[in-house]
Chains A and B, each alone.
Chain A
Amino acid sequence: MNNSNPTLRPRQYQFKLVLLGESAVGKSSVVLRFVKDRFDEYKESTIGAAFLTKTIALENGDTVKFEIWDTAGQERYKSLAPMYYRNANCAVVVYDITQTTSFERAQSWIQELKKQADSNIIIALAGNKIDLSDKRTVSTIEGQNFAEENNLLFFETSAKESTKISDIFTQLANKLVESRAIVAEAAAQQQSRAQDTLNLNNRNAGQGSDTCAC
């Protein structure tokens, strides 16, 4: 498995990242900028690609692969399934600095994460759309204070102008790798997947034989 041998460098890590935030705050745009360095002005709600991966290299040569889960719109009427939070190692909670309600929603998503997700989860709070700063209704200090009180990473971003987007993921990656608990847990999860769970997609896998006495 990926990080089964901790003495060998560079190490490879894999983490599940979930996106949260009110509809239309730019969750998918943040990911699109991160994964493809692109921005679609008139992109409507998320259809099709709600599961992407992106690997980044850290300064020491280690690599971190993010398995990114988009909400697929299920957040709109508070219909995200427990499956979404399951085994998430980190989360990016996005709000729109021009919409106060989206900041309030972000705060309730943080509470939801604390209830539903693993207690070790690392959370980044991103106030998006700073390119529209003349319409700003949520101040930087409000965001910062809330992030500090709740032990979150904090960024103000613009997916449109590519401001601070990659910083979110780089800092998350560094913090995840520093956290021994999360690294151990992610490794254990991958280990258990490799060992005991079944690969249903492989039609030839695990053919029991007639003489198997197990």
Chain B
Amino acid sequence: MDEEYDIIILGTGLTECVLSGIFSVEGKKVLHIDRNDHYGGECASLNLTQLFRKFRNGEAPPEALGRDRDYNIDLIPKFMMANEELVKALVYTDVTRYVEFKLVSGSMVCRDQKISKVPATVGEALVSPLLGFFEKRRAKKFLEFVGNWKEDDIQTHNGLDLDKHTMTQVYEHFGLDTNSQEFIGHAMALHLNESYKTRPARETIERVMLYVTSVARYGSSPYIYPMYGLGELPQGFARLSAIYGGTYMLDTPVDEIVCDSDGKFVGVKSGNDTVKAKLVIGDPSYFQSRTRTIGKVVRSICLLEHPIPNSDNADSTQIIVPQAQANRKHDIYIASVSSTHCVVPKNFWVASVSTIVETDNPIAEIEMGIKLLGPIKERFDIVSDLHVPTETGAESQIYISKSYDATSHFVSVFEDIKDIYKRITGNELALSKRPTAEEEQAAFESNR
């Protein structure tokens, strides 16, 4: 461990592993350390033993739950939107050769305690029970507007300026009622609260476009999910990094971040060794004195022996309970996957219920989501702080990622990845296409 590296990365969460892969491919010498004996950090997928070690003081899992290795339970429930940037990164880096994906069957919203599919196309809007007769035609007009939008063709703008008009003004323009506003703002644009309405409409229209183009990729829902759980994503990017020379050390304590007298990063101390590098990247848990808390999220992981009731027996689905339906400020999210995705044994489902904490009794805040699940076999509750760095890293060369927030997709995670990359290099992240397995094989075979 006496060697010197370009970059030391602490923690093997998704953000850290994607950056590790990108920098290794660019030729940087990367040392990647995790204090845990498994990949994934805060966003790992755990097997039964790990799950019971974390939540039940190491108690032995009941035999009825089946084999340890049939479980890959996500600590942070999220789905990927088929058209989001993380998916493009997976394709460009060809990490898709290590990870396989399946479509999530359903995208649903709960209104008046009833669960309905979120209409994403004009055709679906016209038959959706969420919309009244006149409302259907207005929603159709709005979806056509989004679908036809071309930035440089003012004809398609309907007289709206997305940077000037607020989303409320756009809703008024199309005459959309609160019902439609609820599913557009919460179930399609995936806003967690109502604050978006008074901001310029561009943000929301872009989110609706992401939703609509994601549905158009594979049909039925905009969401995709990796076989064996989200923990495959950091593992896949870590493998990419290793193939390009990155060094991996799991189960390695990080005792001290060593800085010089100007406060600039020097190295990382583990036991009696100090490894030096030009800069360090890490998740907030390695830099507690350099982060602050901006809120809390409550997440409840529930094992079920049945699909979520009234979800069309879906093997996987997302259900959003919009904040107004729950008399709250923030939406409640339910994400459910099953043995179809090799995350639980046959005849099991796992549903995670989450929301942003608003009171002193966070567990009670998700009760309305929990009630939709039917009988629960095992339940694990987590309340976690959301941390953000208090410094950019420009002075100290210490670059800290953000905690995984309450959003249901990876848009904010990828924003953080791009932001850290730019803070470090001064450049925008531009991924170049990695050769496919076939191209690499051909190059290998012709190389005599």
Question: Which residues of A line the B interface, CB within 8 A?
Answer: 35-36, 46-53, 72-74, 76-79, 81-84, 86, 115-116, 193, 196-198, 200-201, 205-214
Contact = CB atoms under 8 A, between A and B. Distances in A.
A112 B218 CA distance: 38
Contact of A51 (B217, B235, B252, B440): B440
B220 interface: yes
Q: 10 closest pairs, A vs B, by CB?
A: A208-B219, A79-B248, A72-B242, A81-B235, A77-B249, A83-B235, A197-B100, A79-B250, A206-B218, A50-B243
B247 A212 contact: no
A84 B250 CA distance: 15
A208 B248 CA distance: 41
A82 B235 contact: yes
B134 interface: no
Contacts of B251: 78
A205 B101 CA distance: 14
A47 B244 contact: yes
Interface stretch (B179-187, B201-209, B224-232): B224-232
Contacts of A209: 219
Contact of B91 (A48, A81, A197, A200): A200
B239 interface: yes
A171 B353 CA distance: 50
Contacts of A197: 100-102, 227
B123 interface: yes
B390 to A, nearest CB: 31
Given A83-B236, A200-B91, A208-B217, A52 B98 contact: no
A205 to B, nearest CB: 8
Contacts of A46: 243
A72 B101 CA distance: 23
B239 A206 contact: no
B121 A52 contact: no
B96 A49 contact: no
Contacts of B436: 201
Contact of B248 (A74, A211, A214): A74
B274 to A, nearest CB: 17
**Looking at chain A's contact residues, is the secondary structure mostly helix, strand, loop, or mixed?**
loop
> Which one of A48, A81, A211 has the highest number of Cβ atoms from chain B below 10 Å of its Cβ?
A81
> Which one of A53, A116, A200, A206 has the highest number of Cβ atoms from chain B below 10 Å of its Cβ?
A200
B357 to A, nearest CB: 32
Given A198-B224, A214-B219, A81 B123 contact: no
B228 A86 contact: yes
Contacts of B441: 49, 52-53
Contact of A213 (B123, B245, B247, B248): B123
Contacts, number: 121
A206 B232 contact: no
B210 interface: no
A49 B444 contact: yes
B245 A47 contact: yes
B242 A73 contact: yes
A49 B219 CA distance: 35
B21 to A, nearest CB: 12
Contacts of B232: 83
B215 A81 contact: no
Interface in B55-106: 69, 82, 87, 90-91, 94, 96-103
Contacts of A79: 248-250
A49 B442 CA distance: 11
A44 B157 CA distance: 59
A212 B242 CA distance: 42
Interface in B232-270: 232, 235-236, 238-239, 242-245, 247-252
Contacts of B243: 46-51, 72
B249 A208 contact: no
A116 B227 contact: no
Contacts of A206: 217-219
A209 B98 CA distance: 29
Given A83-B236, A83-B239, A201-B96, A78 B250 contact: yes
B176 to A, nearest CB: 20
Contacts of B39: 81-82
Interface string B114-131: 000000011110000000
B151 interface: no
B294 interface: no
Interface in B168-213: none
B384 to A, nearest CB: 24
B368 to A, nearest CB: 29
22 contacts: A47-B244, A48-B440, A49-B440, A52-B444, A72-B239, A74-B238, A74-B242, A74-B248, A76-B247, A77-B252, A79-B248, A81-B239, A83-B99, A198-B102, A198-B224, A200-B91, A201-B91, A207-B217, A208-B219, A211-B121, A213-B123, A214-B219
A49 B123 CA distance: 48
B445 interface: yes
Given A83-B232, A200-B96, A208-B218, 6 more contacts: A52-B444, A198-B224, A208-B215, A212-B121, A214-B219, A214-B220
